[in-house]
Chains A and B, each alone.
Chain A
């Protein structure tokens, strides 16, 4: 494989257990700038957990995470955001009773010089960002729960790109979307790739993954079975990795590969 410099994100031997359940066991993963790394696997394979470790929602038990070669201490969502890691959660994690602008800036509000919330500035920024993503969106003052699924998705995506993310984690982004919105998300991912952002894409949809991703990583029972460029494996081989733990010749095996 050609040398690509230091990876944007490097996770080494990351483990997390909940009680006796090894949700993630010695997982190692790289994401390079401008690439989409997809993580696939069954429900309960540990893909969302791995993503949440990177996003700070869970704190790992052991292992290391490096951002651009530097050791990163990610103990909570705030830390992750400081490293430029933004997340679009499966359930979107939007506060339903608050409007779009408030959600965009949740936890990172703009303030006036007297320390009060600068709602007008936040709305202006919201209009700017949402305008790039979804020019027809106008309902900035309505609570988010009154918006359609696709509009809510736009708000979640806008929140992630508003703060100049270097790494974007997308957990099942198209699971609740129709075909047109899925295509829009695909367009967005391609654009972000061109901007040099590294994307961690969690998905159970093999077709989406082969469409959008550069590399695939399959997990089973909390362990990584194998990692490969999308061009070096077939869909059936990936299914084999997910279901049987069988690592194909085109992939680099991980701790979960069956011998």
Chain B
């Protein structure tokens, strides 16, 4: 039987290196698993998985769950749960559909340039309101989150049907549709490189800033080599991702339409117009960055983790715990609304079944990403990676032609296995 006592750090060079670099080994492990899954599917599917087209699609498909998973981390960290996110997504999606196809055209006419913005604003406000309502009942009336959001799951799903008596709303406003991805809903090669470069510069600045602040207090610094290595790896990854997205060309139909509309002559071999980063992916990344900042650099985030660690201690420290929890559920509602916008934009239709059972995937993504259901522990980056992992599994199985029921079985088994491994890791790491 293998010993559960790890060897002293001195004799394990990898551990020493990782500790010096102050990297979260759990996150690294997850990245490793994702890479293994990708390579596995690539081999099994005969080279279909690791193509620009598939990876681009994967990024778009992961976005709605990833967006909501960032909020679910904070919910679970504070020892609550939100079972209603899928239904909120559906209800807000229906309202947004009706607003842009029925309500606003009456006021502004069809295809008004501002329709998409007003619709999105209405949807976000509604999401925040729904979240606030649930959060109020949970935080101030003391009803357990499980019950309140279980009720919400039923209520908002019913409300979604009620908006149009079950009718699907389609098509949607052309500008709004861009949020769903697709050839027009991507930013193209040039902008993608710009985004990639900005990401590189941002990472390098962050590392440099961290060093400067530590020097100010005479704290021990990470070895310069480690900082350079990390910065280099992060930049390389960002630029590699952009390169992959830029390698995925528009389909021939879109290219022809574009050529006609812009009076460009189509050369013999066709015109290569790169997709670039999809807009929903940009939204997801933006949300991820904002949520990470919120969780790690603001008092609000600190209080969320403190409440999860010891609610009584947080109260005694003078933290307004109920207000923090209310805000967390409002934030969850907002993120569900953003996901809703992306989902209906991708479908180019608002249906009342949109987002059904999404909450389970969102919770699974957060938990696979390292969020403990006991509260107090979890990272935003881990949750987004969890969403990518789960979507990779599903996407790969689709490529292999696996039936949906079997897919569900696999996803369920992987979820339990991932959490079991996480429990082992925590026990061992103390």
Contacts and interface: CB of A to CB of B under 8 A. Distances in A.
B304 to A, nearest CB: 11
B302 A81 contact: no
Contacts of B298: 115-117
Given A76-B318, A89-B316, A109 B299 contact: yes
Interface stretch (A95-103, A206-214, A220-228): A95-103
A234 interface: no
A94 B219 CA distance: 25
B15 interface: no
B401 interface: no
Interface string A117-154: 10011011000000000000000000101100000000
Contacts of B302: 98, 102, 106, 109, 117
A145 B426 CA distance: 13
B305 A77 contact: no
B306 A77 contact: no
Contact of B217 (A87, A111, A120): A120
A66 interface: no
A93 interface: yes
Interface in B361-379: 376-377
Contact of B213 (A78, A108, A120): A120
Nearest to A156: B313
A107 interface: yes
Contact of B317 (A77, A96, A124, A146): A77
Contacts, number: 79
Contact of A120 (B216, B308, B315, B377): B216
**Number of chain A interface residues as a range:** 20 to 34
**Number of chain B interface residues as a range:** 20 to 34
A57 interface: yes
Interface in B153-172: none
B299 A117 contact: yes
B430 interface: yes
A146 B426 CA distance: 12
Interface string B316-327: 111100000000
B428 to A, nearest CB: 13
B25 interface: no
Contact of B376 (A97, A120, A121, A124): A97
A106 B317 CA distance: 6
A95 B313 contact: yes
Contact of B306 (A92, A98, A117, A123): A98
Given A117-B298, A120-B216, A106 B313 contact: yes
B249 interface: no
B376 A146 contact: no
A38 B2 CA distance: 53
Contacts of B376: 95-97
Contacts of B319: 106-107
Given A111-B299, A124-B217, A93 B377 contact: no
B309 A95 contact: yes
Contacts of B216: 120
A146 B429 CA distance: 10
Given A120-B214, A146-B430, A97 B318 contact: no
A111 B305 CA distance: 17
Nearest to B216: A120
B305 A98 contact: yes
Contacts of B310: 93-96
Given A93-B313, A94-B310, A78 B217 contact: no
A78 B318 contact: yes
Nearest to B218: A124
Contacts of B308: 97
Contacts of A107: 314, 317-319
A13 B319 CA distance: 29
B213 A95 contact: no
A93 B312 contact: yes
B297 interface: yes
Contacts of B306: 95, 98, 102, 106
A108 B316 CA distance: 12
Contacts of B293: 116
- Residue picked from B308, B315, B316, B430, most chain A C-beta under 10 Å: B316
A76 B321 CA distance: 13
Nearest to B217: A124
Interface in B276-303: 293, 296-299, 302
Contact of A95 (B217, B296, B299, B314): B314
A97 B377 contact: yes
B316 A93 contact: yes
16 contacts: A57-B315, A76-B318, A89-B316, A93-B313, A95-B309, A95-B314, A97-B377, A98-B305, A106-B314, A106-B319, A109-B302, A117-B302, A120-B213, A120-B217, A120-B219, A143-B309
The 3 lowest CB-CB distance pairs between A and B, nearest first, are A107-B317, A97-B376, A97-B309
Interface of B: 213-214, 216-217, 219, 293, 296-299, 302, 305-306, 308-310, 312-319, 376-377, 430
